[in-house]
């Protein structure tokens, strides 16, 4: 019997069949046929059995050779030592007397199974949805459990997890999918509309290599993780980046999805213009998962993020860096990935998701770079870090402690002396250094961040959206501030929007900590901009 079929974009039709015996399916007898568009069979695979043609059946044909659902669940409970609704761990049944009601979350059917000896046995199949797993088991007439499968597969990724910025900051780990069921209700590999993938592709992110540096990759090739979604690929940093491209793509896919889910928890959702193919009827425009391109061959020592308006796909391009031998891959520097994704966040939220030109003035464009830097630092924080800790952006890929900025991020005025009026030297009639302006904005926000952490503590849980701790509250205030600020805001307007965000969210409970951070770096109450010149002010309200 044909169970399903479909045609791929390459013209091949895939047909899937089940073997039938005495009008019932043989559960593990499958045949797949691949048919070319011309109509000829190009390949097939089969687990069909010929044992059904034997003159003597491998079982006695009796009226009750299929065990009841109750007996099947009892056998399974004893075999796996688990408690099933209606059946205790001891195998004792407490089914209702009214005909044995099948408990909710349990399905049953009857058919045949080819056992380990190749015999065809009558079985009762049961499917039990236990939340954390979904068990499918087959029990024969002797009450033996012939096969057990778990339909829930935890995806595995070999990555530098959130809190480990790069190979110089900590060990690579195997992590299971950590996404939020609220932000990604069908996980990271399922769009929730019938489109499921076993590759680095899903509703939020499509990750693949672009070694040719093409402006538009017409046929992207996300890497395959198989049915088990196992993305644990070898990595050898003594070799050149293309030798470990699968590991690089995996890290890029993981970090981008984590950013989607964390930002979602703090308010960057469908209605506000986030990046998803399927918006689940929650507002905004879909069909705009992020295309993230690993090891882009169009250049070196850079990364970028293109953010069109809501409903159009953004694109992140990550490059290889040639500042060391062997060269280093930006896909392994989480801080750079976070910096770039934050460009998408700030562009979609400032002025609304359908505006594309609201971070184009000198200061606002510079702040776009600064938000990227400070968000990268916030995501790499661990419990042992404090206001005396100093960070560089891109330190790993640039092989330089200071990274790609003039100063490390520090609350120490000697190690990082930047204040608001430092922006003057980066604004000229000839050109503007947006990254330098951004580093000043991020330096100011760095003070605010640690003032909040000193007051409210630190949490490594970024996914829940809890704002009881300083670092998680900081993420929320930045996002809420972006929503509140006007198109092309100045430093003053962005500052005031963050302060307003705290007033709305916390009744100004953190007003002093926020103002002290701004004022320490010259953006106090008496700061001003006159005659095209930024003038420091250190006054508190």
Q: Can you say which residues are annotated as belonging to the binding site for Zn(2+)?
A: 154, 339, 343, 369
Q: Report how far residue 285's alpha carbon sits from residue 265's, in angstroms, rounded to the nearest whole number.
A: 19
Cis status of the peptide bond prior to 326, with omega within 30 of 0: yes
CB 392 within 8 A of CB 401: yes
How far is residue 276 from each of residues 86, 182, 271, measured CA to CA in Å?
41, 13, 11
**Integer Cα distance of 190 and 188 in angstroms:** 6
User: In terms of DSSP H, where are the helices of 69-210?
Assistant: 69-80
DSSP string, 124-135: EEEEEE-SS-EE
Q: How far apart are CA 443 and CA 411, in angstroms?
A: 8
Evaluate the CA torsion angle 168, 370, 538, 427 in order and state its sign.
positive
What is the number of residues in the chain? 541
- 484-487-488-494 Cα dihedral, nearest 10 degrees: -10
Of 410, 438, 415, the closest CA to residue 426 belongs to: 438
Give me the residue label for tokens 């464009």: 365
Cα(255)–Cα(390) distance, integer angstroms: 22
CB atoms within 10 A of CB 30: 16
Which residues are within 8 A (CB) of 99 and not within 5 positions of it... i.e. 6 or more apart? none
Reference 213, options 318, 72, 309, 366; nearest CA is 318
Q: Are 271 and 357 in contact (CB under 8 A)?
A: no
Residues 192/273, Cβ–Cβ less than 8 Å: no
Residue linked to tokens 């670092």 = 471
Task: Give residue for tokens 């984590």.
Answer: 258
Q: How far is CA 30 from the centre of its chain?
A: 34
Binding site, annotated residues: 154, 339, 343, 369
Please pick, among 25, 340, 363, 447, the residue that the annotation labels catalytic. 340
- Of the candidates 514, 509, 541, the one whose C-alpha atom is nearest the C-alpha of residue 527 is 541
Phi, psi of 378 (to 5 degrees): -60, -40
**CA distance readout (Å), 478 to 368, 372, 501:** 12, 11, 8
Active site residue 340: yes
Largest CA-CA distance found in the chain, in angstroms, rounded: 100
Name the E strands within 36-105. Answer: 41-46
Integer CA distances (angstroms), 272 to 35, 118, 280, in order: 44, 57, 14
- Neighbouring-strand partners of residue 31: 17, 46
Token reading at 211? 């070694």
Catalytic residues: 340
């Amino acid at each position: 019997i044909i169970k399903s079929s479909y045609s791929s974009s390459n013209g091949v039709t895939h047909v899937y069949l089940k073997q039938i015996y005495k009008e019932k399916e043989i559960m593990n007898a499958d045949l797949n046929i691949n048919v070319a568009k011309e109509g000829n069979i190009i390949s097939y695979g089969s687990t069909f059995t010929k044992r059904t043609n034997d003159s003597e059946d491998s079982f006695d044909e009796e009226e009750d050779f299929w065990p009841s659902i109750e007996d099947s669940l009892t056998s399974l409970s004893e075999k796996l030592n688990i408690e099933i609704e209606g059946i205790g761990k001891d195998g004792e049944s407490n089914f209702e007397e009214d005909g044995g009601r099948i408990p909710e979350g349990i399905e049953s059917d009857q058919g045949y199974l080819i056992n380990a000896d190749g015999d065809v046995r009558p079985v009762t199949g049961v499917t039990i949805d236990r939340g954390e797993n979904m068990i499918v088991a087959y029990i024969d007439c002797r009450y033996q459990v012939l096969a057990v499968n778990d339909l829930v597969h935890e995806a595995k990724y070999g990555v530098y997890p959130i809190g480990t910025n790069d190979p110089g900051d900590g060990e690579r780990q195997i992590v299971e999918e950590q996404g939020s069921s609220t932000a990604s209700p069908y996980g990271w590999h399922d769009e929730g509309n019938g489109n499921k993938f076993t590759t680095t592709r899903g509703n939020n992110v499509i990750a693949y290599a672009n070694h040719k540096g093409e402006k538009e990759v017409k046929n992207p090739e996300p890497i395959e993780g198989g049915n088990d979604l196992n993305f644990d690929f070898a990595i050898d940093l003594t070799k050149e980046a293309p030798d470990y491209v699968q590991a690089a793509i995996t890290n890029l896919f993981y970090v981008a999805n984590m950013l989607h889910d964390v930002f979602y928890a703090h308010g960057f959702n469908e209605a506000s213009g986030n990046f998803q193919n399927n918006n689940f009827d929650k507002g905004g425009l879909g069909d705009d998962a992020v295309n993230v391109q690993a090891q882009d061959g169009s250049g070196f020592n850079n990364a970028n993020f293109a953010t069109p308006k809501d409903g159009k796909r953004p694109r992140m391009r990550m490059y290889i860096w040639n500042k060391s031998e062997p060269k280093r891959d930006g896909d392994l520097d989480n801080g750079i990935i976070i910096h770039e994704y934050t460009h998408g966040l700030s562009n979609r939220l400032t002025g609304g998701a359908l505006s594309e030109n609201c971070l184009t003035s000198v200061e606002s464009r510079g702040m776009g770079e600064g938000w990227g830097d400070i968000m990268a630092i916030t995501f790499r924080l661990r419990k042992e870090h404090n206001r005396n800790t100093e960070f560089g952006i891109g330190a790993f890929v640039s092989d330089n402690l200071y990274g790609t900025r003039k100063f490390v991020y520090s609350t120490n005025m000697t190690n990082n002396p930047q204040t608001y009026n430092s922006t003057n030297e980066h604004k000229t009639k000839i050109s503007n250094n947006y990254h330098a302006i951004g580093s000043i904005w991020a330096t100011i926000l760095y003070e605010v961040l640690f003032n909040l952490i000193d007051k409210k503590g630190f949490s490594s849980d970024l996914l829940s959206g809890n704002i009881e701790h300083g670092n998680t509250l900081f993420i929320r205030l930045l996002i809420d501030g972006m929503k509140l600020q006007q198109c092309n805001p100045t430093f003053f307007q962005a500052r005031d929007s963050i302060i307003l965000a705290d007033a709305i969210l916390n009744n100004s409970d953190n007003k002093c900590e926020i103002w002290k951070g701004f004022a320490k770096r010259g953006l106090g109450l008496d700061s001003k901009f006159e005659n095209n010149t930024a003038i420091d002010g250190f006054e508190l309200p």
